[in-house]
Chain A
């Protein structure tokens, strides 16, 4: 079955350190990949997407993601994490509907 996977349930980093949230995909053809973030008691917010073209995608709030076809990965990155980045992050793929990974809880400590 086609899917995305987020291998880490939790990621903990110190403020100011680089943040990486991992996502791998198992999707045939050209994958359309997305990242969303969910803050406590809120809905999901779109961060960025990969459709085609440049493998490095820049998104909201200083986040970027790199599409790597050989490793079938689409990891989310931020060079310097903030405490306010603490949230639940979802990777998703789309084939006319979004299918989400299980989510990764990010905690950034001051």
Chain B
């Protein structure tokens, strides 16, 4: 256990559905991240939150909408997704946002868009 939990672990949704992914960290960290891991592709950083403020958005389509209500929780709201959005979505946290802070990852949510 890394201290970062994600729910649900698996999610199947149609292209017209709206769903949300949840991440919770129990480490007292100040920075949280969303990554997308697709087969045969490097991990893609999607969003970065530092002290509950979004500090990075890596050209992610608007059908993905993050929310960070407090330093322990991070959500990824999904709507009108495409089949190519099927992937493993990983949440991570670090003590602070900085070059030398390691990140701790949750187990991921396996998303399938039908």
Q: Contact partner of A43 among B48, B98, B107, CB < 8 A?
A: B107
Q: Is there an interface contact between A90 and B43, defined as CB atoms closer than 8 Å?
A: yes
- The distance in angstroms between the C-alpha atoms of A101 and B52, with both chains bound, is 28
Q: Is there an interface contact between A96 and B90, defined as CB atoms closer than 8 Å?
A: no
Contacts of A95 in B (CB 8 A): 99
Mark each residue of chain A from 39 to 61: 1 if its CB lies under 8 Å from any CB of chain B, else 0. 00111111001010000000000
What residue of chain B has the Cβ atom nearest to residue A35's Cβ? Answer: B102
Number of A interface residues in the complex (CB < 8 A): 22
Whole-angstrom distance between the Cβ of A47 and the nearest chain B Cβ: 9
Q: Is there an interface contact between A100 and B97, defined as CB atoms closer than 8 Å?
A: no
Mark each residue of chain A from 55 to 69: 1 if its CB lies under 8 Å from any CB of chain B, else 0. 000000000000000
Whole-angstrom distance between the Cβ of B99 and the nearest chain A Cβ: 5
Contacts of B100 in A (CB 8 A): 32, 49, 51, 94
Q: Is there an interface contact between B45 and A97, defined as CB atoms closer than 8 Å?
A: yes
Whole-angstrom distance between the Cβ of B42 and the nearest chain A Cβ: 5
Choose among A45, A51, A96, A99 the residue with the greatest number of B CB atoms under 10 Å from its CB: A96
Is B56 an interface residue, CB under 8 A from the partner?
A: yes
Contacts of A25 in B (CB 8 A): none
Is B66 an interface residue, CB under 8 A from the partner?
A: no
Q: Is there an interface contact between A43 and B56, defined as CB atoms closer than 8 Å?
A: no
User: Which residue numbers of A lie inside 8 Å of B, CB to CB?
Assistant: 32, 34, 36, 41-46, 49, 51, 90, 94-103
What would be 18 A-B contacts, judged by CB atoms less than 8 Å apart?
A36-B105, A43-B105, A43-B106, A49-B100, A49-B102, A51-B100, A90-B43, A94-B99, A94-B100, A95-B99, A96-B98, A97-B33, A97-B45, A97-B56, A98-B45, A99-B45, A100-B42, A101-B42
